Structure 1
Amino acid sequence: MKIGAVVILYKPELNEAKALLDNLAQQVDALCIVDNSPESTYSQLALAGYENQIFFHFPDNIGIASAQNVGLQHLLKDGCDFGLLFDQDSQFDIGFVAKLAELFQKSRQHYLPRLVALGPSLMCSYTKKIVRPKIQTEIEQFDDISSVPQIIASGMMIDLHWLQQIGLKDDALFIDGVDHEWCWRARKHGFSVGLALDICMSHKLGDGRRRFAGITYKVGAPVRLYYQFRNIFLLSRRSYVPLYWKFRNFAVMPLRIFTNCVLLPDRMMRLRYMLQGIIDGMLNRSGPIKASAKRP
């Protein structure tokens, strides 16, 4: 069984990204790095020292979906059976990949014969706590794995043999919602998505944390609000997207607008991105944000 990994970079913190790549290079058979940064990080990360690696640089930022597709297609051409996806800020122990692969095979034999993707439990780098979904419940739980509606992309192990049937990541979304949409689409085709209960990975969720009225919430870059709000409208048109996801996102939209316009810095910029996202979502516009909409 040949296992490859795809790591997506965008203006990474170099020591953090280097630690991830050094760790990962010891655990996989093929390593594909896709850099969406304006300036290439190849020399800074000393990537020439890795065996069986390939580096792609897209200075104009093709988005996370297209970047993942570049990596997945390379792994397929390289003869990999399984592909792992990682963001630049994920961290895990030696033995992580082997444990995930072992659980993948075991789960298909005993629990979920149509398992197509498996991800680790996530520990938030900010709170140091394991993140468990509060609304979307598990579909079925076994000893060391749960069947779930979706998992995030970072740490996701995919059986590449089924990629052609399910399809690649949806580059129309560009960034937000890409991982969940693919999982929902895979489930529409009759496959299962799993969450490993005893395999953990540290990951940054958002750019930081704030508290208001006793509630802790994630803080992200203002431009991400454009994609988050727009993609709610784009995904809500699709029949295979869960109803709870549609209801929850539309229900909390007024609260998110309030939070970003009152409690966070760059209020007017955030408001403009949210409004533009709502407008473009209602008009069914997709892909990267237009250059005219990027101006503060």
Structure 2
Amino acid sequence: MNVGKKIGCIIVLYNPNMSMLFTILNEISNQVSKIYIVDNSTVDHFLDFSSYSNVVFEKLGNNIGIASAQNMGLNFFKDYEHILFLDQDSIPPRNLVSTLLENYLFLLNKNIDVGAVGPRPFNRGENKKYEGIIKKGKKLYNNITEVGELISSSSLIAVETFNKVGLLEDGLFIDAVDHEWCWRAKAVGNYRFFIIEDVLLSHQLGEGDKNFLGMKIHIPAPIRTYYQFRNYIKLLDRSYVPFYWKFSNGIKYFIKYFYYPVFVNNGKKYVEYMNRGISDGFKDKDGSI
């Protein structure tokens, strides 16, 4: 790809699979100007990026949360034109950046205030596309679907947009960070968000999924439920957070509250974290547990 436009890529690590990480770097290193890697890992590992001329590596030694780590990258790339976020478990296709940028510029030329564009996530484990259950989005063009929010992984965003909307919310730490920013961007500048259907992102979610009453219930690590429940409570009273998200997640978390302790190993630990998350949510607690 001709990277005439300065595009920075931000990857946040947390105890990554090394083989997967280097697979991702091999795919993305020629698509962007520079890659800024922030390592939130809590375990020591040796990482050698010397074979990549455009990688900057920041080892933190502790977990500051995905929002703060991504904000470090945004500050690093403040003089660039666009940012691409990547997860440590999402494999980008070789046409990712060129296709996203082409469609981003196409939408701008249609006088649309573009907040971000992203690929269609594709579950490589189940060999199917991820689509919203309640909000599937609206087909704007044959290959472009407008949605209310995007996951951060592989989303392309103009640096200028962050200057207007602000950075990611550090206090949320991990869950709902990307969605909160999208909703805030819509409230601040009526920015809109799009999935580009002809580029697929190989992603793996829900390796711990279980079926319950016809629904798939994702089984996270117990501590993750703390952030899910806490941040849900924190976002409930914000007017710019859409009602459908509050309603659907309210039902989902209600089910999970009773499902985890009965059907999941170490259920008592889940209850402890969920209760603490609910309590800290009402206290509007920020940051890590």
Query: For this structure pair, what is the TM-score category when the shorter chain's length is used for normalisation?
Result: over 0.9
User: Is 1:14 aligned to 2:13, yes or no?
Assistant: no
**Partner residue of 1:4?**
8
Alpha-carbon distance, 1:25 to partner: 0.8
**Structure 1 counterpart SS, 2:132:** coil
Moved more, 166-175 or 146-155: 146-155
Q: 1:73 and 1:264, CA in 2 relative to 1: closer, same or farther beyond 3 A?
A: same
**Structure 1 counterpart SS, 2:92:** coil
Native 8 Å contact 2:115 2:182 kept in 1: no
**Partner residue of 2:230?**
230
1:92-241 correspondence to structure 2 within 5 Å: 92-110=92-110, 113-139=112-138, 141-189=140-188, 190-241=190-241
Q: Which amino acid aligns with 1:231?
A: N
**Structure 1 counterpart SS, 2:50:** helix
Distance 2:85 2:97 in 1: 11
Gaps of 5+ in 2: none
Native 8 Å contact 2:118 2:155 kept in 1: yes
**Structure 1 counterpart SS, 2:172:** coil
Deviation per residue, 1:226-282 (Å, 9 max, x gap)? 000000010112110001111112223221112211111111111100010011111
Native 8 Å contact 1:211 1:217 kept in 2: yes
Q: Which amino acid aligns with 1:31?
A: I
Deviation per residue, 1:274-296 (Å, 9 max, x gap)? 0100111111111111xxxxxxx
Superposition misfits of 4+ residues, deviation over 3 angstroms: none
Native 8 Å contact 2:81 2:160 kept in 1: yes
TM-score relative to the length of structure 2: 0.94
Distance 1:191 1:179 in 2: 14
Alpha-carbon distance, 1:4 to partner: 1.1
**Structure 1 counterpart SS, 2:262:** helix
Q: How many residues align?
A: 284
Distance 1:3 1:239 in 2: 33
Superposed CA RMSD in Å reads: 1.5
Gaps of 5+ in 1: 290-296
Distance 1:91 1:148 in 2: 22
Deviation per residue, 1:108-139 (Å, 9 max, x gap)? 213x5210211110012332210111112425
Native 8 Å contact 1:145 1:194 kept in 2: yes
**Structure 1 counterpart SS, 2:274:** helix
Identity between Structure 1 and Structure 2 (%): 35
**Partner residue of 1:57?**
59
Native 8 Å contact 2:121 2:203 kept in 1: yes
